[in-house]
Amino acid sequence: MKLVVQRVKKANVVVDEKIIGEINQGFMVLIGIAPTDTKEIADFLVQKLIHLRIFEDENEKMNLSIQDINGELLLVSQFTLYADCNHGNRPSFVGTAAEPKMANELYEYFVDQCKKENIKKVATGKFGADMQVSLQNDGPVTIILEK
């Protein structure tokens, strides 16, 4: 499982010209799922995500978590994080990205686990949809988490 975590001032996801998920200050997270990923891996990364200390404290040091600042999450499935571009110029996803059914189940599990934590708001994209994602990156700060 691979997460691209972006610290944002605000972010939203649009599907069919309608905003389906939006947040203010927090994390916009792209989530890629591999065929070997499990609920245990998802649990580990949920904990890593919510305890990730990349918000500034009163001394302008990255020392606060999303829970510390009462921040929000926008979680977006992103199978292209597992693109294999080693052979030619057209990305391949065969064997690198999980099949849609399995990926959707694990994505939904990840979302549900985040909702069980002390997070002000957990918004999502729509699995498998053509989404337009907008964000105002804060910093910019972008961290990749994977297991």
Taking the CA of residue 40 as centre, how many other CA atoms within 13 Å lie in the half-sphere pointing to its CB? 1
Q: Is 80 a catalytic residue?
A: yes
Q: How far apart are CA 35 and CA 101, in angstroms?
A: 11
Catalytic residue among 36, 38, 80, 124: 80
Q: How far apart are CA 2 and CA 15, in angstroms?
A: 23
Q: How far apart are CA 45 and CA 83, in angstroms?
A: 20
Active site residues: 80
